Amino acid sequence: MSGYPGVDLIEADGQLQLSHQPMPDRPPLTLEGAKALLAQAGYADWFLFDDALKEAVGRCGGHEPFRMAIAERRDAQFELESAQDAMTAWVTVTPARGGKALDANDLVLALAQAGVLFGIDEAALMKVCTAPEGGRAVAAQGKPARNGEDAHFEMLVDVTRDRRPKVGEDGLIDFRELGDIPVVDAGQVLMRIIPETVGFLGRNIRAEVLEPMKGRPEAFPDDLPGAKVDDQDPKLLRAVFKGQPVRVGNGVMVEQVVYFKGASMASGNISFDGTVHIEGDVLTGMKVRASGDIIVTGTVDGGHLDAGGSIRVGGGIIAHAVVHAGDSVSSRFVENSLVEAGIGIAVDSMVLQSQLQAGNQIVVGTQSPQRGRLVGGSARAMMLIRTPLLGDPSSTVTQVLVGVNPVLEAEYQEVLGLITKQNQEEENLGKLVQHLAKQGDKTGVLERVRTTWSQALQALGALLVRKDELEKQMALFDKARVEVGVGVSGAVDLAFGKTQRRLRHVYDIGAFSVDQGQVLFTGPDGDPAVVDG
């Protein structure tokens, strides 16, 4: 070792040995000094035996000659890893210590020998090979197969009616009020199926082809009144006759539209399988029934309306009229009448001394946000009742109830009963199949029983799915609320399910809700306060 008397460095078989001969009056050797001298001699990159070097430095202060290995030359090393799914390979590089360095070609060859043939990242390999500290890098990455897209439905006409609206996360249904009736002509294309795609092939790092999953095909439902699949192209749906298009799930049906100039003794009662459009009024005692929608441009004055779809009344609903719609009802105002809707009720201005019931929501004052009011009578909805003014000091008690849906609850109880019955039937059929399979099918009925059993299982599965859907909808009851855009005055009986409060003093703009059995009122400041009455 140059610069330190009595110490020599000797290379032998890839190792560096320190040879020591004692000499008088020599300054002591430190560990730092020894490393500096190694660097000067060109051995800084070698792999040091730290403990051996420390020992050698200590023994150099003695009077005994010795020779010992303190370092060695090491070539760069690497280790390959592959994911179990053969989509990724990694390389971990330990850099050379005085020995032969790696280059990217070395790793590419090693990967090939290990069966990694696709997706090799040569730039990453070069980077990790030249990094002073080595490291771990993604050496190869497979290309996953891209699954095909499912077929989907594209509307080709303007449809404002949807007989299967969806419930949002807040429990509200975005229903539309009826406006003008959209009309399609016979033969007009209503809807198109955009076909499924096959997807794109992939490859793993072994260069094996990965097959994509083909998208799910779709077809139009069989029963779509007023519509048919195109004779030449099964992906097109056409109108059979002129009428109103109505969205029904993954299809469109066409309802015929009939027009009347008022409903009176002259016209008689009206019953039609489709949509009824009445120019004028519906007078006392007259009944109008439609499987689709009913549109009345005038007033319903004591008449009876019953629609499977929605009802729009351009004027008011008055004089003990009875209005029922499977979907929604909208009108200018309501007074002394009964209005029921499967989804929602929307009133432009005010509701006075009437009974309203909606499966989802009631909104009053849609065209009069400051003067609209709900006074007297009762209003019931599952999720929301919204009105500018609620109650009136000069009126009788106004009853408001949210967080209930008798129709939904009745269906839930019915489904529970059907599940119990179907469970028993499925269990009995399963036992019969096992018995016939074990004892022998002497009468040849085993296959029929198996088919019936399979059908019973499918029916049970459908019931369980519906049960879950109903439970999810009923779980939204806790999100029910009553919103007032101006305030509350007069006597109001407020109920959230079985939790009731009698409001007998004034409330300003805000919203009522329920939380853990307590009725809360939240004003513009956002701070909820417990409602005692």
What percentage of the chain exceeds 70 in pLDDT?
95
Of the candidates 14, 12, 18, 22, the one whose C-alpha atom is nearest the C-alpha of residue 31 is: 18
CA 436 – CA 430 distance, rounded (Å): 10
Same domain, 68 and 81: no
Least confident of 269-278, 299-308, 466-475: 466-475
CA 138 – CA 122 distance, rounded (Å): 10
**C-beta separation of 363 from 380 below 8 A:** no
Mean pLDDT value across residues 151-164? 77
CA 147 – CA 142 distance, rounded (Å): 15
Q: Residues in the chain, how many? A: 533
Least confident of 125-134, 195-204, 407-416: 407-416
Q: Model confidence at 533, in pLDDT bands (50, 70, 90)?
A: low
**pTM of this prediction exceeds 0.75:** no
In this predicted structure, the answer to whether residue 179 has a pLDDT above a threshold of 70 is no
DSSP class of residue 477 equals G
For 65, 130, 410, the CA distances from 402, given in Å and listed in that order, are: 100, 70, 17
Same domain, 52 and 82: no
How many separate domains does the chain show? Answer: 3
Classify strands 135-141 and 88-94 as parallel, antiparallel or unpaired: antiparallel
Q: Helix, strand, coil proportions of the chain in percent (round to 5)? A: 20, 40, 40
In this predicted structure, the answer to whether residue 52 has a pLDDT above a threshold of 80 is yes
Domain-located, residue 245: no
CA 2 – CA 384 distance, rounded (Å): 93
Same domain, 13 and 67: yes
pLDDT tens figures, 104-123: 999 999 999 999 999 999 99
Domain-located, residue 419: yes
Q: Which helix (H) or strand (E) holds 109?
A: helix 104-113
Choosing from 49, 72, 95, the residue where a domain stops is 72
Nearest 5°: CA angle at 508, between 504 and 513? 75
Same domain, 432 and 462: yes
For 18-56, letters b (16+ CB in 10 Å) and e give bebeeeeeeeebeeeebeebbeeeebebbbbbeeebeeb
Domain-located, residue 351: no
Residue 435: which domain range? Answer: 406-477
Same domain, 43 and 86: no
Same domain, 62 and 81: no
Domain-located, residue 68: yes
What long-range pairs does 351-357 form, CB within 8 A, spacing at least 24?
Answer: 351/375, 351/377, 351/379, 351/387, 352/376, 352/377, 353/377, 353/395, 353/396, 354/317, 356/380, 356/381, 357/381
Domain-located, residue 442: yes
CA 30 – CA 58 distance, rounded (Å): 8
Strand partners, 20: 7, 66
Task: Return left, alpha or beta for 17; rule: phi > 0 is left, psi -120 to 50 is alpha, else beta.
Answer: beta
CA 32 – CA 460 distance, rounded (Å): 81
pLDDT tens figures, 237-254: 999 998 889 888 899 999
pLDDT tens figures, 217-234: 999 998 899 999 999 999
For 24, 320, 355, 366, 386, the CA distances from 337, given in Å and listed in that order, are: 122, 4, 6, 19, 19
Least confident of 10-14, 64-68, 208-212, 270-274: 10-14
Choosing from 141, 169, 190, the residue where a domain stops is 141
pLDDT tens figures, 240-299: 998 889 888 899 999 888 889 999 988 889 999 889 999 999 999 999 999 989 999 999
| Distance spanning both ends of the chain, measured CA to CA | 98
Domain-located, residue 82: yes
Choosing from 88, 108, 141, the residue where a domain stops is 141
pLDDT averaged over every residue in the chain = 89
Strand partners, 341: 325, 358
Domain-located, residue 435: yes
Domain-located, residue 100: yes
CA 366 – CA 381 distance, rounded (Å): 17
User: Can you state the angle between helices 122-130 and 104-113, rounded to 10 degrees?
Assistant: 120
Mean pLDDT value across residues 124-137? 92
Same domain, 414 and 467: yes
Copy the structure tokens of residue 345: 């009720």
Neighbours of 533 (CB within 10 A): 9
